[in-house]
Structures are given as structure tokens and as C-alpha cells.
Structure 1
């Protein structure tokens, strides 16, 4: 398993580099998050032995069981939907939360982070296409609530995250990514607060995301193979 993971990881890194070159960007500007949710600790260890250090999980309970068995210098990112009753358990495990999708969740994380002594990095999840099946801030909600969000002292809000709807036309996906970048730029202009990060792009579309300014791509199956759901 570890040999295939190593070769897959090398291939993804090459694709990231090619997308950066096409966009005139440095590979140093893009972080690859290896999404290890529903894969065993041995799979993570294989990627770790190949030199990778940043991994993403989407279930707190799975992380509680997995994280302590793996090297302590791994940088764990939470990428799934976070329930408020799991925040206290999640904060010691993850440096970064990509899926803060409401003001109430942000306030809960801020309150518990203050109690427990954490300063988590946070991405605000945007529902850029206003899909009824997805959570996240609409454009209007984010513009209305951003000042309140930025006042939460324990949160290091670093940027926006999105999962665009599946589209047949890649250019439609490109427009979704571009819309998130433009929204980020609008917020920066309105608030004066730097938001340098954009968490956009997964196994099927990360190259497009990089071309549109993504700084974090979340890739799982292209590294670890298909999950056994």
C-alpha cells in the first residue's frame, strides 16, 4: 500500500506544480492536504513516510482514535461538518478548521477555545452557488456578518473555503472558484483584514482551483485510492 501511496503522492505533487506553473504561481503558495478520512492509520503512515505532513479528517470520533497512534508532528486539518457538541473534543486535535459554516458555530468555537486555551486557524465555508443541500455562508450573509466574525478574538480567520456543486462544464466550476476569490477580495477591501488563504479544490478539480487562486487543495482518493464506505 505504501508504495502506491508514495507514487500517487508524487503524481499529485507534480500536478500541483504544473497547475502552479500554468497560473504563474509558486508551489510554495499551495498546500496539499491529504484527506485521510475513512482510511486506516497505516495509510497515513505511508504518506508520512513519503514526506507528507498535512492531513485532513472529517469526523471527530475517527480522529480521536487515529491521531494518537500517529507521529506528533503531523498537522491535522478538520474538513468535515463540525457539530457544536464536538468542538471541545476537536480543538486539541486540529490546528485548522476548514468548515466553519455559521456565525453560531464560530461563536461556539471561540468560546470553547477561550476556555481551553486555543487559537485555531479557521476558514469560513461559503455556499457560493446557494445550494439548498449544503451549509455555509451565502455571499449576503458573509458580507452582513463578517465584522462580527472578525471580532471573535480566539479565531484566526485566514480565508474562505468552498465545495462547488458538481458541474458537467469545468468552466462552470472555474467560475465558482473565481466567485469565491472575488468575494474574499471584496471582504478584504471592506474590512482591511488580510485573508490570504482560499481552501478550494479536491481530487477532481484542484488544478482549476489553483489556477483561480486556491492556497489549500484537499485531495484524498487520488492519493489513497477509493474509500470502502
Structure 2
């Protein structure tokens, strides 16, 4: 997408650490030929520039919720960034060689995966804050993984299948990415159950009227 938001431009031009940078070929939305662009990856934002020396980017690709897929193309070492849902643009890119292609695919997958891991850690902290007030009785398990193992489980690197020269399409995914929605829902239900039990006990002890929910976990 094109950049019009000042905060994004400030972030792109800031001294925030760069996760990866280099030249890739990007297929235009109107001009269907591949154009050489300079790409900079910061977190889960992939900025692209007309030239390496340019200060401000031409646009940005938000990697949250995407999948990275090798694709058939007239350009060698091609891959695309795609999202689920109708009418959402697919970004087609190509590298100069197989090694560069593999490095970028892994970097883009990891950027998206790290964002999901951060969300899981936020959910863990919310759960722990409620659990402390309700006592040690509850022990959270999500998808068969105990709470203290969740971060370790999600912290493993994502290993996609090695890219090959003009391969058949193959989507790079991982179990944690596929299960994140279910994991989020399980966390939400357990946090809500623990909180309701704590409120019920407190009301019984102090004779307080029911307390309305202060946080919407949906």
C-alpha cells in the first residue's frame, strides 16, 4: 500500500533497528512488469523504496496475518505475500538468486510469527494477573501445552521447506500460526472463568453487589 500516514513515514525513517534489507523485484499493481526496489524489513512492516539512497519509502506491506508462498512466474525465484479474504491484494516479489529468495522467505515468516508470539505473551500476562488474585488452584493449558511452556513452544524458529528454482506453489505455515485463533479463544474463556470465580468469592465474603465487567475480552 502507498504511504500517506506520517507515523509510518517517521517509523520508516527512524533509527529503529533493521531486521533485513536488500534488493527485490516487485510486480506492480498497474504495471505488471517486475521493478527493482530496495526493501527494508522492520518488525512486521516491509517498506519498499525506489532507490536505496531514498529517504522516504514508496509504500509498505503489513505482514500481520499473511502467508508466504512460492509461485510460478516469468521471473525466476518468485514468491508472493498473500492474505485470506476476497479482494485483498497479493504482493508478488522475486529475488536475484535462490539463496536470497530463501533468506527473504524465512525473514518474512519470522516477522509475522514474532508478532503472534507477542500477542500470546500479552494474553499470558493478562491471565497471570487474574490468577494471582484467585489463588494457585488454576493451571492453564492451551492446546495441550501448559502455560509456562507456551512461550517456549511458540519461540521455536519457523522452518519452511527449502525454496527451489521455480517450484510448484507451496505455502509456508506453522502449527502455532494455524492454532493462534483457537489459542486466543481458550485463553479468553479461562481468564473469564477465573475472574468470575474470584468476583463471586469476593462478593460472598464482603456482601458486595455483583461487579460489572471492566474489561471486554472479546
Q: In terms of Rg, which structure is larger?
A: 2
Q: Give TM class, smaller chain.
A: under 0.3
State TM-score, norm by structure 1.
0.23
Q: Higher helix proportion, which one? A: 1
State TM-score, norm by structure 2.
0.24
Q: Which has the higher contact order (CA 8 A, sep 6+)?
A: 1
Q: Higher strand proportion, which one? A: 2
